[in-house]
Amino acid sequence: MISQEVKNKIKTEEYFINMGPQHPAAHGVLRLLLTIDGEIIKNVEPDLGYIHRSIEKMCERDSYQQIVHLTDRMDYLSSNINNEAVCLTVEKALELEVSDRVKVIRTIIAELTRLASHQLWWGVMGMDLGALTTYFYAFRDREMINDIFEETCGARLTMNYNIPGGLMFDIHPNFVQRTKDFIAHFKTKLPEYDRLLTGNVIFEKRTKGVGILTKEDAISFGVSGPVARGSGFASDVRKHHPYSAYDRVAFKEILFTEGDTYSRYKVRMAEMWESMAIIEQLIDNIPEGDIQAPTKAVIKLPKGEYYQRVETARGELGVYINSDGNKNPYRVKFRSPGFSNLSVLNHISKGVKIADLVATMASFDFVIPDIDR
């Protein structure tokens, strides 16, 4: 609209804006230093560390049972899956065989955690794009999962239910019945979520074609989880490196190829159906067996390096333990899914409006203590 020579005369300067630690779209305390010209973003530079609690330094002075408590405060939305990751690493190091019952219960609880995390993501994604009703719908249903967890594991959010060698205690007698009731209830509610947001014209206009991530970029930036599967990179650890009871369960790995915010949204919505299918296949025949494999009180891993990959709700969590044989590990590293997913944000949001950056970040589903550790 403005002719070229007028545009050259009006020199508008770029300026910096802090999409800073205390920001509703930051889902925590992530600070993005945006270089913008008007509404168009020129550069996104994340500045982390506002919730860096030095977990890896603590792990070097904790015993293996104590490390489990720290991991569910890292990615608190998939806390069970994080605990399971550490326990699997320790069991792999000790060559400890865990009973079938523990494997099945761990898988059911991991899928319930994934459902609760995707529900929260769906509620908050709607809220980020201005639809407040999704927040109330999602949290109403999330309370049912919290009640199941509270009855079985004793806590609503940071469950220390997994211990190296099995589970803390057996499942609650009416755990099976309540899970089935929840699945039946949620099967009627998930289509309601679809009707509320998926078909909404405003939502589609805000998310289709926004934040395109190609498959090569996803692989090169180490992106994993629903974000990667939205652009066609098959990175589901449950499928490619099955652990616990995922090898005896039939489920689809959802892949879309467009790689925009809408396809990442569809991946997570379809994943909720898959999680329910997994739970249904396992909930009826939980095998009998003992809950805890015998382990010594003070666990000492033999000298060496152990690595275990687990599929959390946000992506692939890797636990690397380097042990030199004594009580606490020599070095522990958590490969956090959010950290690599964040590195791609700058690459895909150049020349995008700020509102689209908010939509892209909502579809990335960041949990900031998982990035900062």
Partner 1 sequence: MGVDKKRFLNQYEAEGLKQVMPEDFPGKVIPGGNGGNIVVTTLDSVINWGRSNSLWPLYFGTSCCAIEMMQTGAPKHDFSRFGFEVARPSARQADLIIIAGTIVNKMGPVLRRLYDQMAEPKYVIAMGACAISGGPFYYNTYSVIKGADHVIPVDVYVPGCPPRPEALLEGMIMLQEKIKTENMSKKVNPIDGFDEGK
Partner 2 sequence: MKNEDLQNIIIGLGTDLKFSTEASEFLNIIVPKEQLHSVCSQLKSNPDLKFNYAFCITGMDWGKELGVIYHLESTELKHRIVVKVMTEDRENPTLDSVHDIWQTADFHELEVYDFFGIKFNNHPKLRRLFLTPEWEGFPLRKDYVDEANMVIK
Partner 3 sequence: MGLEAIIVFLLAGIVLVAGANFMSNMISPKSDNPQKREPYECGIETIGPTWIQFKVGYYLFAILFLIFDVEVAFLIPWAVVYKEVGTVALVEVIVFLFILGLGLLYAYKKRALQWE
Among 139, 273, 320, 330, binds partner 1 (CB under 8 A): 139
Contact of residue 2 among partner 3, partner 2, partner 1, none (CB under 5-8 Å per partner type): partner 3
Start-end of H helices in 158-200: 175-193
Rounded to a whole number, what is the largest CA-CA distance in the chain? Answer: 79
| Cβ neighbours of 250 (radius 10 Å) | 7
Contact of residue 157 among partner 3, partner 1, partner 2, none (CB under 5-8 Å per partner type): partner 1
Among 253, 335, 353, 354, binds partner 2 (CB under 8 A): 335
Among 23, 52, 172, 300, binds partner 2 (CB under 8 A): 52
Does residue 42 touch partner 2 according to CB under 8 A? no
* Interface pattern 148-177 for partner 1 (x via CB under 8 A): --------xxx-------------------
State how beta strands 316-323 and 304-311 pair.
antiparallel
State how beta strands 331-335 and 316-323 pair.
antiparallel
Listed residue (66, 80, 244, 70) closest to 162, CA to CA: 80
Contact of residue 340 among partner 1, partner 3, partner 2, none (CB under 5-8 Å per partner type): partner 2
Name the region of 352 (left: φ>0; alpha: ψ -120 to 50; beta: rest): beta
Of the pair 21, 318, the CB lying nearest partner 1 is at: 21
Of the pair 220, 326, the CB lying nearest partner 1 is at: 326
**Site residues (CB under 8 A) for partner 2, limited to 294-323:** 302-307, 309, 316, 318, 320, 322
Among 7, 61, 205, 350, binds partner 1 (CB under 8 A): 61
Structure tokens, 310: 């687990």
**Site residues (CB under 8 A) for partner 2, limited to 205-244:** 217, 219-222, 224, 233-235, 240
CB of 201 to partner 1, least distance (A): 26
Chain-centroid distance of CA 81 in Å reads 9
- Among the listed ranges 11-19, 267-275, 310-318, 365-373, the one in contact with partner 3 (CB under 8 A) is 11-19
CB of 52 to partner 2, least distance (A): 5
Does residue 33 touch partner 3 according to CB under 8 A? yes
Number of residues that bind partner 2 (CB under 8 A): 40
SS3 letters for 115-167? HHHHHHHHHHHHHHCCCCHHHHHHHHHHHHHHHHHHHHCCCCCCCCCEECCEE
**Could you tell me the CA-to-CA distances from 143 to 35, 113, 125, 176, 373 in Å, in that order?**
40, 12, 18, 17, 27
* Interface pattern 331-360 for partner 1 (x via CB under 8 A): ------------------------------
Listed residue (180, 144, 135, 148) closest to 80, CA to CA: 148
CB of 47 to partner 1, least distance (A): 9
User: Is the CB of residue 175 less than 8 Å from the CB of residue 152?
Assistant: yes
Half-sphere exposure of 1 (CA within 13 A, CB side): 0
Does residue 143 touch partner 2 according to CB under 8 A? no
Does residue 15 touch partner 3 according to CB under 8 A? yes
User: Is the CB of residue 99 less than 8 Å from the CB of residue 288?
Assistant: no
Determine the residue type at 332: V
Does residue 49 touch partner 1 according to CB under 8 A? yes
SS3 letters for 207-272? HCCCCCCCHHHHHHCCCCCHHHHHCCCCCCHHHHCCCCCHHHCCCCCCCCCCCCHHHHHHHHHHHH
Interface residue list for partner 2 (CB under 8 A)? 46-49, 52, 54, 56-57, 61, 217, 219-222, 224, 233-235, 240, 302-307, 309, 316, 318, 320, 322, 328, 331, 333, 335, 339-340, 342-343, 347, 372
Interface residue list for partner 1 (CB under 8 A)? 20-24, 28-29, 49-54, 57-58, 61-62, 69-70, 73, 76-77, 120, 135-136, 139-140, 142-143, 146, 156-158, 368-369
Interface residue list for partner 3 (CB under 8 A)? 1-2, 10-13, 15-23, 31, 33, 37-39, 353
